[in-house]
Chains A and B, each alone.
Chain A
């Protein structure tokens, strides 16, 4: 046997040995995860502000599909007023989005009541699997000003089990002299709300806002601003807040879809995914003393 042949045989032998050894522990199949038993994801808001309540339902599916119009008939959605025990079955409506995706919306024509809990139930008719959310609509809130200074106005929203969200301070202004339009400017205060013992507190940075509003008006209407104060009337100032139930509490008070998309973040559906909020919008007019208004160079307006 010459050396070449010997080398060749050794090579083939080694090749086969390595292959045989490594073939032993080779699983071809994929481990399949257990199927999630949660039937639905639900999203919506129960509110006294709306004359029709509605929820968006997504079946939790084993694969991504564009949906089927028949699915809506397979789901029964109802609400129960926990105070009266009254149950309402909601009507389904199926829509088709531009990309062909079916959407399942359920609605019921009633206005939610303050200080009332509602149980929203989505049930799969075929096997009775259910997802449930229970929410309580907060009581109306009172808004008061704790301190009023040109630099900052402390506004307290008094209420139990509430979460104040998306506060906006609106300024309605007009040039003190001449025929110029009334303009409304909204300054967002999202993320600046702070929990206090009797509710929530928002500090309105009045002087900063005044400079901003005057600048915006000036930019829109031309170079009207002189060096003097009082060229712009502050005709109205109000605060607009979303008053939600205590569970309506996104991280940092911000509604970032990229953060909230993860299941488990902002979640109150039992045996399912999603979130149903309860709340209302509150708007309160803020009446400030003349000296505070004039201290930030607004003209005190008296109709």
Chain B
């Protein structure tokens, strides 16, 4: 108790010291730049779509001297960021003509007179151009499958809508599975492995709200239907210092604001699920709302329509209020709820089948603005989320895990003449609670408090076509007093249509997500902290040491013609101080940790074609992941100091192809995916174990059932491939439209294996051929 108090006090002192240091440095930086440029002016604002108030990311803002005869008069320019915010600093006082333009929109023109020290605001709503240049718009899109920059890919709702799905409502999960670096265990389970990392090593956020299991049990769905998404930033590795606390990847989802001009809505239904969305102004042009809800039907329709029980149910709801109190800021409040229930594993003997149930609840506030007193763009986020998961027979809970967190973060972008330095801080307060029990399960309970505080800065340096972003994050984790320095680096080099990129970084994670990886169908995740220094058990080797990842990647991208783009990217991740669930013959989940290291390497190649009326891509991913487990028992069991094995998500080859076109007024989408077999551990037989540890009668010996395995992950499952097709037609009826969609999942009825039940040795297949019809009605 006393030790915990001392540790807490020391952490608090370090935290306060860190915050003070950051504020002092920030003020010095800001004030010194202000002194230097006190005589110059600043122009900033927010660029939005006049039709619905959505931000226009990438809109071009140009300031040109009104006296055009003065050729040496400087021209200033900026591009609006993802939230539509732009800022131009150090403008020489004078009279300027301002133009704000965006492809497919009418250009805004105005004349400005800027005085010394003035901070002018011009927030503009651009009207859509009457003359729609489809081809130009398509080719000008800044997202797309091949548009990868040092592990970073931006995904838009338009990208997501192209991937065929059994439901008319498109979903981010379905798109993520088409990325060459993302491996899933199948079309159910909701587990995503990014470039060799574990699901618990992915940082998933919605509007800054950390979500722990945002993917539904049916693999086509997540908590993110495309209709609520503004953009998704996926960092498959090498992410910058803005993000921390996870070893593998970042999936940062930004929801869109509701239409602040008029009421709009949508409803859709298919045999898989139904959804509704409504949005509109509360106060026109000032305050808008958007609400979305979905519910699955497949639990009820599965057997009747497809002759197969699909015991999965999910529901999710999302709501957001978006306020523009003035031309220099926006405030939004988001809330999300998800619920999943399903059975993945068949019953054992006469026992009732185990059910998995989980929820995510989150709430967040986000303020974006251009403060009048400082020449920066700022983002302040305060969020809270809670995730709980249960497993047991229906109506019973044999084991449960819960994790909750409160997160406060401030991000600031310091705009220079041609560069932007980002800096900020983040505090995350997390608590985890677990209680394990059930058939063959020893009862264990644990509670962990896991807090972290971090400060970061990432300046930008330019030299000709070279851009370098060296970043540094100073991170404090409650598990240990000493601060962690996490250097990050991103490099981009554009020359003659060739785009070379690279990234590297060091990452730490103190929250461990434990799954029973012996069983690929296992979704149940125990969230816990790493062992502390003062605990004594077999994992003392790693006490107080955080899991650490080191990433390095290099990529090349080119767009030789406006309609074709291709990219290749090679990556390497080294993972140390990993905690994996201890290998055991007991047929149960264990929270005993076993030290391990890992490394993953590979490359991805993508080719993308985009024309008006035609879109397609082919991606290939090669990945090679190896874990090494160490420990006393490894030596005893396998006569080797460390056990090298391919983890269950080590899919070596993965191919995805998508084709989207129009034919006789129908939108036709085809997607074909292929994956080489995943490693798994073959159970050989089942018996029991008794601990013969004293002179006792046999009935008094401690005992349990046991699984006799082959060497871990030494077998490989069959390859996987599937073709999905969708055909859709949209009919416009005034301001409303009706969309009809027919789709077929697994069109040639491939018998793809989902997993082998380690308890019954039965194979469980993924979804067979599934035709579906859906209808969507929307108005705006």
Contacts and interface: CB of A to CB of B under 8 A. Distances in A.
B616 A11 contact: yes
A60 B659 contact: no
Contact of A264 (B616, B637, B687, B703): B637
B672 interface: yes
- Chain A interface mostly helix, strand, loop or mixed? mixed
Given A19-B657, A63-B686, A259-B636, A50 B585 contact: no
Contact of A4 (B351, B613, B698, B723): B613
Contacts of B705: 58, 64, 101
* Candidate in B632, B702, B717, B761 with the most chain A CB atoms within 10 angstroms: B761
Contact of B682 (A29, A33, A63): A33
Nearest to B682: A33
Contacts of A279: 695
A56 B636 CA distance: 25
A212 to B, nearest CB: 19
Given A30-B756, A100-B350, A15 B685 contact: no
A198 interface: no
B697 interface: yes
A83 interface: no
A99 B761 CA distance: 21
A118 to B, nearest CB: 14
Given A25-B719, A56-B698, A258 B609 contact: no
Interface in A269-303: 273-277, 279-281
Interface string B693-705: 1111111011111
Contacts of A262: 585, 633, 636-637
B749 to A, nearest CB: 11
A50 B690 contact: no
B702 A257 contact: yes
Contacts of B687: 40-41, 58-61, 273-274
Nearest to A25: B719
A7 B691 contact: no
Contacts, number: 204
B706 interface: yes
A65 B686 CA distance: 9
Interface string B599-612: 00000000001011
A260 B688 contact: no
A281 B695 contact: yes
Nearest to A52: B697
A49 interface: yes
Most buried by B among A25, A103, A166, A280: A103
B751 A44 contact: no
B689 A7 contact: no
Most chain A CB atoms below 10 A, which of B585, B672, B691, B721? B691
A74 to B, nearest CB: 15
Nearest to B618: A18
B223 interface: no
Interface string A101-125: 1010111000000000000000000
B633 A63 contact: no
A88 to B, nearest CB: 15
A47 interface: yes
A100 to B, nearest CB: 6
Contacts of B751: 28
**Contact residue range for chain B?**
35 or more
A223 interface: no
Interface centre among A18, A258, A273 (most CB of B within 10 A): A258
Contacts of B763: 30
A66 B349 contact: yes
A18 B586 CA distance: 44
Contacts of B762: 63
A45 B699 CA distance: 11
B692 A26 contact: no
Given A19-B723, A22-B674, A276-B692, A261 B706 contact: yes
A100 B710 contact: no
A250 B636 CA distance: 11
Nearest to B752: A28
A280 B706 contact: no
Given A7-B609, A264-B637, A273 B708 contact: yes
Nearest to B697: A54
Contacts of A59: 687
A264 B709 CA distance: 12
Given A4-B611, A255-B693, A266-B692, A261 B618 contact: no
A27 B719 contact: yes
Nearest to B615: A11
A65 B347 CA distance: 10
B697 A99 contact: no
B582 interface: yes
Interface in A139-189: 166
A220 interface: no
Contacts of B439: 99
Nearest to B719: A26
B707 interface: yes
Given A14-B618, A28-B718, A255 B691 contact: yes
Nearest to A37: B685
A239 to B, nearest CB: 16
Contacts of B637: 262, 264-265
B687 to A, nearest CB: 4
Interface string B669-689: 010101000000010111111
5 contacts: A4-B612, A19-B723, A22-B721, A25-B719, A55-B698
Cβ-closest 3 pairs across A and B: A66-B349, A58-B688, A43-B690
Interface of B: 348-351, 439-440, 538, 563, 582, 584-587, 592, 609, 611-614, 616, 618, 632-633, 636-637, 655, 657, 659, 661, 670, 672, 674, 682, 684-699, 701-708, 710, 715, 717-719, 721, 723, 750-753, 756, 759-763
Given A59-B687, A62-B685, 18 more contacts: A12-B659, A15-B618, A15-B657, A26-B750, A30-B718, A30-B753, A41-B706, A43-B690, A47-B695, A56-B690, A56-B701, A62-B761, A63-B761, A248-B692, A263-B585, A263-B706, A273-B708, A274-B687
